[in-house]
Amino acid sequence: MTDLSSRASDIFTDNHRWGDLDDWNRAALDLHDQGGIHRIECDGFDPFWAVIDHAAVLEIERQPELFTNGPEPVLTDRNGIESRTMEIKTLIHMDAPQHGKYRRLTNDWFKPASVRRLNDRLAELSREAVAKLEAAGGEIDFATDIALPYPLQVILKILGLPEDDFPRMMMLTQQLFGADDPDLQREPPSPEVVGQVIADFYQYFTELTAARRAEPTDDLATLIANGNIDDEPMPDLETMGYYVIVATAGHDTTSSAMAGGMHALIDHPGELAKLKEDPEGLMANAVEEMIRWTAPVRHFMRTATEDTEILGQEIRRGDWLYLSYKAANLDPKVFDRPLVFDIERPNADRQVSFGYGVHFCLGAQLARNELRSLFTHLIPRIDTIELAGDPATMKTTFVGGHKTLPIRYTLTP
């Protein structure tokens, strides 16, 4: 453990630091020089341990009974915790034995063999994305016009929701995750606003549950609406939490990886050229590197249930730990030249952007398929591409990435 300057430690707590990712990455590398775990004491927040060491993140995730997700799985300041007006209960908020029971309900639905049946829809969406680029005639905002809508269309498909509901779902997912970014708000951030967004969600999904109970189909919403836990129907709070996690966890995460991946290719023309040369051979690894590079879920928190030790550092029962997926992906002990975007990186698949262990991202395979499909359709058509302005990233400490990525391009016929 080291004494940190406030500038080093606030990369975890100050949402503005996420507005400059290069600066954030450099700060994270400096922290790696000083150790793999750091005590963060910052005004307004309960103290916590920031874990940035790759192996330590895995070690913690491997012991879900010693390090629980409850009671606070996401970094929230004291004011936010104390003034919370609405309860929300998703897989992320659960621990054993409840978590396993709820996860089993949809686990098979997300397995690779199962999500493969969505591939036709992904190909269709990817063709539509290319058509949008053709129609835009050479300049577009890749983040808002391509990356943001794509994964939301996929969520509509897996939940079996009509295309007409796209705008409402877009607003809801944006509000929930973008809540602490000044540019993405309807109103100033307040617990009431967040509560209102969640209430909107609840109303929408209450109607959906009733519809799927009356008329079951083969979509994920039917599985959730009719799910039994211990032979009893799932309670309302948990049913809503299930929709919320699928809708939100599958959206900004994947779109951030898409836009961040595109930006990385623009910034590294040599990598783009290699990918154009051999899209089939390099795509899977390139996508893995994009996911390492972007780490759209910046962190999750764990709470120690016993006194223990991590990297030789004493951890007391009740201590809060911040698992920094972003910084762990830059651990120089694991990733050679971590600040280089290298689509042929031999161990890119050791990225921890999807977490690890019992909470490992349920949608990981789906997200990979979405990225592979989009870039497989897009890359061979790109003749030239460059930035058409300064991109901006979301100033949020939880899930984020590019909110704008203006590009100028020409396409091959």
Interacting residues toward ligand HEM by CB under 6 A: 61, 91-92, 103, 245-246, 249-250, 253-254, 257, 291, 296-297, 300, 325, 353-357, 359-363, 366-367
Where is 300: in which H helix or E strand? strand 299-304
Q: How far is the CB of 302 from ligand HEM (least distance, A)?
A: 8
Shortest spacing between CB 295 and ligand HEM, in angstroms: 7
Tokens of 278: 């051999």
Residue 274 near residue 344 (C-beta atoms within 8 A): yes
Would you state the structure tokens that stand for residue 93, as one six-digit string?
Answer: 């908020």
Q: At its nearest, how many Å lie between ligand HEM and the CB of residue 359?
A: 3
Cα 346 from Cα 335, distance rounded (Å)? 9
CB-nearer residue toward ligand HEM: 182 or 357: 357
Q: Which is nearer to ligand HEM, 261 or 338 (CB)?
A: 261
The pairing of beta strand 320-324 with beta strand 48-51: parallel
Task: Give whichever of 320 and 409 is closer to ligand HEM, judged by the CB atom.
Answer: 320
Residue 91 or 176 having the CB closest to ligand HEM: 91
Contact 134, 411 (CB under 8 A): yes
Closer by beta carbon to ligand HEM, 49 or else 409: 49
Residue 85 vs 360, nearer CB to ligand HEM: 360
* Shortest Å, Cβ 249 to ligand HEM: 4
Q: Yes or no: say if 271 and 264 are a contact pair by the CB < 8 Å rule.
A: yes
Which one, 246 or 378, has the nearer CB to ligand HEM?
Answer: 246
Separation CA 25–CA 19 (nearest Å): 11
- Inter-CA distances, 285 with 262, 343, 363, Å: 15, 6, 18
Q: 200 and 172 in contact (C-beta within 8 Å)?
A: yes
Question: The tokens of 263 are what?
Answer: 């930006």
Tokens of 333: 């002990």
- Smallest distance from the beta carbon of 320 to ligand HEM, in angstroms? 15
Task: Select 153 or 175, whichever has its Cβ closest to ligand HEM.
Answer: 153
Residue type, 383: D
- Which residue lies nearer to ligand HEM by CB, 140 or 366? 366
Q: Are 61 and 357 in contact (CB under 8 A)?
A: yes
Q: How far is the CB of 138 from ligand HEM (least distance, A)?
A: 28
CB of 3 to ligand HEM, least distance (A): 29
Q: In 10 A of CB 273, how many CB atoms?
A: 10
From 206, 257, 263, 213, select the one nearest 236 (Cα to Cα).
206
Shortest spacing between CB 83 and ligand HEM, in angstroms: 25
Q: Which is nearer to ligand HEM, 19 or 355 (CB)?
A: 355
Distance, CA of 411 to chain centre: 30
Q: Which 3 state secondary structure label does DSSP give 62?
A: coil
Contact 32, 311 (CB under 8 A): no
Report the candidate in 103, 63, 220 with the shortest Cα–Cα distance to residue 154: 220
What is the C-alpha to C-alpha distance for residues 85 and 100, in angstroms, rounded to an integer? 27
